[in-house]
Amino acid sequence: MRVLRVHGDAPSSFRADARHERFTVLFDGILHDSESLAADSAAPESALTDAARVARAYRRWGEAALDHLSGRFAVIIWDAAHDLLLAARDPVGFFPLYWTTSGRELLVSPSPAALVRAPGVSATVHRAALADYLCRRWPEVDETFLRSIRRVPPGHVLRVHRGQPQVSRYWHLAPPDRAVDWVREDELERFEGLLTRAVERCVGGGAAGVYLSGGLDSVSVAAAAVDLGRLGGAAMPWALSLLFPGTEIDETHLQQEVAAALGMPRACVPFEEAAGPGGILIAALRMSREWPWPLLNPWNPAYQHLGAHGLERGCRVILSGHGGDEWLAVSPAYTADLVRSFDLRGLARHFAATAQSYSISWPRMVRLLLWHYGARPVLAETTATVLGQLTPGFMHAHRRRALDGLTPAWIAPDPALQRELQWRVEQRVEASLRARREERWHLGEVRSMLDHFLQPLEFEEWFENGRRLGAPMLAPFWDADLVRFLYRVPPRLLTWNGWSKGLVRRPLARRFPGLGFERQPKVTVRTYHRDLMLRDSPPAWRALGGAPAMAELGLADATVLESWVGEVFAGVRGGEWSRMWPVLSVEAWLRGRLSHNTEGTDGI
| Range in 48-57, 267-276, 504-513, 579-588 with the lowest mean pLDDT | 48-57
Task: Give the length of the chain.
Answer: 604
pLDDT at 436 over 80: no
Q: In sequence order, which residues have a C-beta less than 8 Å from that of residue 226 and are 6 or more positions away?
A: 236, 237, 262, 263, 264
Chain CA centroid to CA 35, Å: 29
What is the tens place of the pLDDT at every residue in 66-96? 999 999 999 999 999 999 999 999 999 999 9
What is the tens place of the pLDDT at every residue in 88-146? 999 999 999 999 998 888 999 999 999 999 999 999 999 999 999 999 999 999 999 99
Which DSSP helix (H) or strand (E) runs through 164?
Answer: strand 164-169
**C-beta separation of 267 from 315 below 8 A:** no
**Closest of 455, 440, 206 to residue 323, by C-alpha:** 455
Q: Where are the beta strands (DSSP E) in 433-485?
A: 473-474
Q: Which residue has the higher pLDDT, 439 or 473?
A: 473
Strands laid side by side in the 98-102 sheet:
3-6, 105-109, 98-102, 150-151
3-state secondary structure of 238: strand
pLDDT at 45 over 80: no
Dist. CA 15–CA 7, nearest whole Å: 11
Cα dihedral 416→421→424→428 (10° resolution): -160
Q: What does each C-alpha distance from 68 to 36, 61, 146, 374 come to in angstroms?
A: 9, 9, 32, 39
Across the chain, mean pLDDT equals: 91
- DSSP lists the bridge partners of residue 143 as 150
- Averaged pLDDT for residues 303-313: 97
| The CATH number, out of the four listed (1.20.120.1810, 3.30.70.3280, 3.60.20.10, 3.30.450.40), of the domain defined by the range 3-169 | 3.60.20.10
Kindly report the CA angle at 357 between 352 and 360, in degrees rounded to 5? Answer: 75
> What is residue 437's predicted lDDT score, i.e. its pLDDT?
66
Q: What does each C-alpha distance from 28 to 51, 94, 95, 258, 542 come to in angstroms?
A: 8, 12, 9, 36, 43
| Range in 116-130, 194-208, 357-371, 398-412 with the lowest mean pLDDT | 357-371
Q: Across the chain, how many H-helices and E-strands are there?
A: 24, 15
Dist. CA 179–CA 175, nearest whole Å: 8
> What is residue 384's predicted lDDT score, i.e. its pLDDT?
78
What helix, strand, coil percent values describe the chain, rounded to 5? 50, 15, 35
> What is residue 383's predicted lDDT score, i.e. its pLDDT?
82
> What is residue 3's predicted lDDT score, i.e. its pLDDT?
57
Dist. CA 202–CA 455, nearest whole Å: 19
Q: Which CATH class is domain 185-287+299-326+456-519?
A: alpha beta
Q: What is the DSSP string of 115-127?
A: HHHSTT----B-H
| Range in 22-36, 201-215, 342-356, 575-589 with the lowest mean pLDDT | 22-36
Would the CA dihedral through 414, 415, 420, 425 be positive or negative? positive
Q: Work out the angle between the directed axes of helices 190-203 and 480-487 (0-180°, nearest 10).
A: 160
Neighbours of 146 (CB within 10 A): 23
Same fold, 3-169 and 185-287+299-326+456-519: no
Strands laid side by side in the 317-319 sheet:
266-270, 238-243, 208-211, 317-319, 473-474
Q: What is the DSSP string of 2-60?
A: -EEEE--BTTBS--EEEE-SSEEEEEEEEESSGGGGGTT-SS-GGG--HHHHHHHHHHH
Q: Which residue has the higher pLDDT, 552 or 523?
A: 552
> What is residue 598's predicted lDDT score, i.e. its pLDDT?
44
**Closest of 119, 165, 128, 173 to residue 146, by C-alpha:** 128
What confidence tier does 595 reach under pLDDT thresholds 50, 70, 90? low
pTM over 0.85, yes/no? yes
Burial class (CB in 10 A: 0-12, 13-18, 19+), 223: buried
pLDDT at 555 over 90: yes
The residues spanned by each domain of the chain are 3-169, 185-287+299-326+456-519, 288-298+525-604, 331-452
